[in-house]
Structure 1
Amino acid sequence: MTIQPGQPIASVPVKHVTEGGVEDSTSADILGTGTVVFFTVPGAFTPTCHLNHLPGYLAAADQLKAAGVDKIVCGTVNDHHVVKAWAEATGALGTIEFIADGLGKLAGALGLERDLTGGGLGVRFNRASLLIRNGNVEIVNVEGAPGEVTSSGAPAMLEALKG
Structure 2
Amino acid sequence: MSIQPGDAIPAIALTLIRDGMHPVRADTLFAGRRIVLFSVPGAFTPTCSSRHLPGYVAHFTDFQARGIEVACVAVNDAYVMQAWASSQNVPAQMMMLADGNGDFARALGLELDASAYGMGLRSRRFALLAEDGIVRLLQVEAPGEFKASSAEAMLALIG
Amino acid at match of 2:96: F
Residue 58 (structure 1) aligns with: 57
Task: Provide the C-alpha distance between the structure 1 equivalents of 2:26 and 2:42, rounded to a whole number of angstroms.
Answer: 18
Task: Provide the C-alpha distance between the structure 2 equivalents of 1:31 and 1:39, rounded to a whole number of angstroms.
Answer: 13
Task: Provide the C-alpha distance between the structure 2 equivalents of 1:52 and 1:145, rounded to a whole number of angstroms.
Answer: 16
Residue 8 (structure 1) aligns with: 8
Q: Give the RMSD, CA atoms, in angstroms.
A: 1.0
Structure 1 residue 136, shift from structure 2 partner: 0.2
Structure 1 residue 30, shift from structure 2 partner: 2.1
Q: Give the alignment of 1:9-24 within 5 angstroms.
A: 9-18=9-18, 20-24=19-23
Amino acid at match of 1:86: W
TM-score by length of 1: 0.94
Unaligned runs of 5+ in 2: none
Q: Give the alignment of 1:17-96 within 5 angstroms.
A: 17-18=17-18, 20-69=19-68, 71-96=69-94
Describe the superposition over 1:59-96 as per-residue Cα deviations: whole angstroms up to 9, x where unpaired. 01111111221x10000000000000000110004042
Q: Check whether the contact 2:57–2:91 (CA below 8 A) recurs between aligned residues.
A: no
Unaligned runs of 5+ in 1: none
Task: Provide the C-alpha distance between the structure 2 equivalents of 1:93 and 1:116, rounded to a whole number of angstroms.
Answer: 29
Equivalent of 2:136, from 111, 134, 138? 138
4+ long deviations beyond 4 Å: none
Task: Give the secondary structure class of the aligned counterpart of 1:11.
Answer: coil
Structure 1 residue 118, shift from structure 2 partner: 1.2
TM-score by length of 2: 0.97
**Number of residue pairs matched by the alignment:** 159
Q: Check whether the contact 1:32–1:132 (CA below 8 A) recurs between aligned residues.
A: no
Equivalent of 2:154, from 144, 153, 157? 157
